[in-house]
A and B are shown apart, each in its own frame.
Chain A
Amino acid sequence: MSLLSFALALSLAQAPCRGGERWVLLPFQPVALSTAEARQVEDAVRRAAEGTSGVCLEPRADTVAKVRAQGGRLPGCVDAACRGAQAKALGAQRLVRGVALGVGGGRSVALTLVDREGLESHTLVELSGEGLPPGQEEARAREAFQELWKTRLPAGAVKRPGGVWPTVLLAAGGVALAAGVGFGLAARNTEAVLSQGNAGCTGEGEAFRSCFTGRLREGQRQARTANVLMGTGALLGAGGAVFFVWELP
């Protein structure tokens, strides 16, 4: 397969997710419930996710293959950052975990949504049980997902810390360049004055020579300072640009 055809295949594979967020829904963990019953709950939530605009849910077969590759289950994470890293590792913008429970004569589902930054939202919905009308499991599973969808934080809502260096470097570079331009203009002005012949000096002999030499040295210093500042500004600007690109998500 040529590089071009591979890229085309990759883009076609990604095509269904164009314009939406790529979500991965992990197989639900059953607690006090059979695996088959937990699958029913998971399928209901999956249908709700698939019917939500803006969500591109990874096909279950693909998710299962990835989970199998990791030994059948993802390691339990102590913190949200770990769960965010798992989302990233699975190639998802958001990861949905679920626990399906069958306690107290009813069924419930606990859902956790985590993005790549580790920002989480949660919901827990009772699907059936005392005080709930029967036959509403599918609808309540849909409600559970909608609740999760509503309470999610927008992707990238929180700016990552550590973006200060590009700003500092670019600002310092800008100041250095501006100062360099100022000194350059001053040097050019001095050059223009010197080219008039007397450089604005009066008198004769030693006094004139001394004044003229002074003006000449001042011009040279301004030109040297301008060059140093321009060079420094260019270096700082380049450094800031490198940091900026480096920290791009």
Chain B
Amino acid sequence: MRPLRCAPAALLWLALLAGSTASAAPARAAYALIIANNTGTEPKQAPLRYADDDGARYYELFSSRTKETLFLSVLDADTQALHPGLAARTRPPTRAALKEALRQLNARMAEDKARGDSPVLYFVFTGHGKRGPAGEGAVSLLDGPFTRTDLYSQVIAPSTAAFVHLIVDACDSYFFVNSRGALPVAPAQVQAVKGLLATRELARYPNVGAVLSTTREQESHEWSAIRSGVFSHQVLSALSGAADVNADGRVEYSELSAFVAAANQGVEDVRGRLEVSIQPPALDRAAALVDLGDEARLGFLLLPAGLEGRLWVEDARGLRVAELHKERERSVVLGLPPSQGYFLRGAGREASFRFARAGAVVDGGVLSWRDNALAARGAMEDALRDRLFSVPFGPRFYNGYMASLGQTPVAPEQQPDLSP
């Protein structure tokens, strides 16, 4: 009797496998180009402390999820000590190195496209940015500025990617991607200049989405407690899976936007509050920034329903790699590099865990918690400690946020099958 009883189940599994295989085409092939530069091109721009650290964290996040990740940065001594071996894989963040990296990635993506795959490019910049006298934004490379014109002419227009995700954590980053305001030219030249500028607008490239740290001329904030820029820390947390509000494994632009809004909601001091610009690709506004269901060299931490409050994951180096304020009823999965031990920390308590190998899942609901004296000591220097992530993020916040924007939310949270 047993084989007969199991036969329908086996058929169902096979049907499910066949269905998922059929729906998987075309395959998503992801690539990342990360540029991190602590120094500015102008003397009055003081060197940043953690732009290279942010770049290193983006590298760790994307190198586990992509076919190839290139990293242009000169890591400082502390960062090299924290990320042994990474410096050997970096190239200097110069215009020539950037051009060569783009050529290399475009060639690979063209091959993917020829095979029928769907290549995706992540273009990440962390460092100094500035809006020039003509209103054009630029970011600082080691050997000079890289302007909005350069971005469109060298990165976006020639890209062979099906989708490009721009992530920029820099001052005035909005103007690095968008133009706004009066044109500093004579009226007779306005039409000609407008025509030129139109080729440098995101609207011309519906396959490009942008995640930008500031909407106005505002300095990005670095926080020494987490050795990171605040915006990058929030984006990295979101992309690790913390922003996946409906537990479908995909982090969409609207989820990232709501997650960042929730993370900053409690910051009362306007000087400490981030303003961001997050624009999904017009071609597919539901395009996923990351999909936890994709094959990846990651371990996965399940934070099941019942676990609640402000939680963060620190690795063995003491780096805070993901942070969130979890609503109790939500189930969350965080994708983390599997190579090292971690601590899941909350208010005054911590639990250690480790992934046995890539692909392994750890159930955060069964970890052994112990009191954490370090967290209780509380030597953090600013209000960011208490205020960031002070608002719970989940379906309640997300739905309210989307309603306030008048935008279409993602599908409701995945529910158990309640059919008989």
Interface residues in chain A, defined as those with a beta carbon under 8 Å from any beta carbon in chain B: 26-40, 42-44, 47, 60-61, 64, 67-68, 72-73, 75-78, 99, 101-106, 108, 110, 112, 120, 122, 124, 126, 129-131, 134-135, 137-138
Per-residue A-contact encoding for B187-218, CB less than 8 Å = 1, 0 else: 00000000000000000000000000000000
Q: Would you give 30 A-B contacts (Cβ < 8 Å), ordered by A? A: A28-B417, A30-B414, A30-B416, A31-B247, A32-B244, A32-B247, A32-B249, A33-B293, A33-B414, A35-B414, A36-B16, A40-B13, A61-B420, A73-B329, A77-B306, A99-B304, A101-B300, A101-B361, A103-B333, A103-B335, A103-B361, A104-B295, A104-B298, A104-B300, A104-B335, A110-B361, A110-B363, A131-B357, A131-B359, A138-B13
Stretch from B4-12, B141-149, B152-160 forming part of the interface with A: B4-12
Question: A31 and B331 in contact (CB under 8 A), knowing A103-B292, A122-B363?
Answer: yes
A64 lies within 8 A of B420 (CB): yes
CB-based nearest A residue for B10: A138
> Total A-B residue pairs with C-beta atoms closer than 8 Å?
153
What is the CA–CA distance of A112 and B364 in the complex, to the nearest angstrom?
A: 12
Given contacts A103-B292, A110-B361, A129-B359, contact A35 B333 (CB under 8 A): no
**Is B302 an interface position by the 8 A CB rule?**
yes
Contact of B333 among A31, A38, A40 (CB under 8 A): A31
Inter-subunit contact B249/A31 (CB<8 Å): yes
Interfacial chain B residues near A27, Cβ < 8 Å: 416-418
Q: Is the CB of A103 within 8 A of B300?
A: yes
Residues on A with C-beta less than 8 A from B10 are 135, 138
A103 to B53 CA separation, bound complex (whole angstroms): 27
- A68 x B361 contact (CB < 8 A): no
> Given contacts A27-B416, A31-B414, A75-B329, is CB(A104)–CB(B358) below 8 Å?
yes
Chain B interface size, as a band, is 35 or more
**A138 B414 Cβ-Cβ under 8 A:** no
The verdict on A130 contacting B417 (CB below 8 Å), with A31-B249, A103-B293 known, is no
Is B284 on the interface with A (CB-CB < 8 A)? no
Q: In the complex the two chains form, is B293's CB within 8 Å of A130's CB?
A: no
CB of B327 to closest CB in A, whole Å: 9
Chain B contacts with A in 233-255, Cβ cutoff 8 A = 244, 247-250
Contact of B302 among A38, A104, A110 (CB under 8 A): A110
Q: Is the interface of A mostly helix, strand, loop or mixed?
A: mixed
A31-B249, A31-B302 in contact; A105/B331 too (CB < 8 A)? no
A37 and B417 alpha carbons, distance in the complex (Å): 10
A39 to B9, CA, bound (A): 12
Q: Decide: A130 and B360 in contact? CB cutoff 8 A.
A: no
Does A40 contact B12, Cβ atoms closer than 8 Å?
A: yes
Cβ contact within 8 Å between B359 and A99: no
Residues of A within 8 A of B302 (CB): 31, 99, 101, 110, 124
B residues 319-375 near A (Cβ < 8 Å) are 328-329, 331, 333, 335, 357-363, 365-366
Q: A38 to chain B: which residues have CB within 8 Å?
A: 414, 416-417
Which residues from chain B sit less than 8 Å from chain A, CB to CB? 5-6, 9-10, 12-14, 16-17, 20, 244, 247-250, 292-296, 298, 300, 302, 304-308, 328-329, 331, 333, 335, 357-363, 365-366, 414-420
A99–B332 CA distance with the chains assembled, in angstroms? 11
Q: Are A67 and B304 in contact (CB under 8 A)?
A: no
- A105 to B17: give the CA distance in the assembly, Å: 12
Which residues on A sit within 8 Å (CB–CB) of B20?
Answer: 37
Distance between Cα atoms of A202 and B398 in the complex (Å): 104
**Whole-angstrom distance between the alpha carbons of A124 and B361 in the complex?**
8
- Contact status B365-A112, CB under 8 Å: yes
Question: A32 to B305, alpha carbons, bound, how many Å?
Answer: 15
Q: Cα distance A25–B197 when bound, in Å?
A: 61
Contacts of A104 in B (CB 8 A): 292-296, 298, 300, 335, 358-359
Question: Which residues of chain A are near B249, meaning CB under 8 Å?
Answer: 31-33, 102-103
- Across-interface contacts of B296 in A (CB, < 8 A): 104-105
Task: Please measure, in the bound complex, the distance between the C-alpha atom of A164 and the C-alpha atom of B6, giving whole angstroms.
Answer: 51
Assess the A126–B359 pair: CB atoms within 8 A: yes
Residues of B within 8 A of A64 (CB): 418-420
Contacts A31-B247, A32-B247, A67-B418 known; A101 to B333 CB distance under 8 Å? Answer: yes
**Complex Cα gap A28–B366 (Å):** 17
The distance from the CB of A141 to the nearest CB of chain B, in whole angstroms, is 9
Asked if B305 and A76 make an inter-chain contact with CB atoms under 8 angstroms apart, the answer reads yes
Residues in chain B near residue A138, CB distance under 8 A:
6, 9-10, 13
A135 touches B416 (CB 8 A): no
**Known interface pairs A103-B335, A110-B302; A130-B295 also in contact (CB < 8 Å):** yes
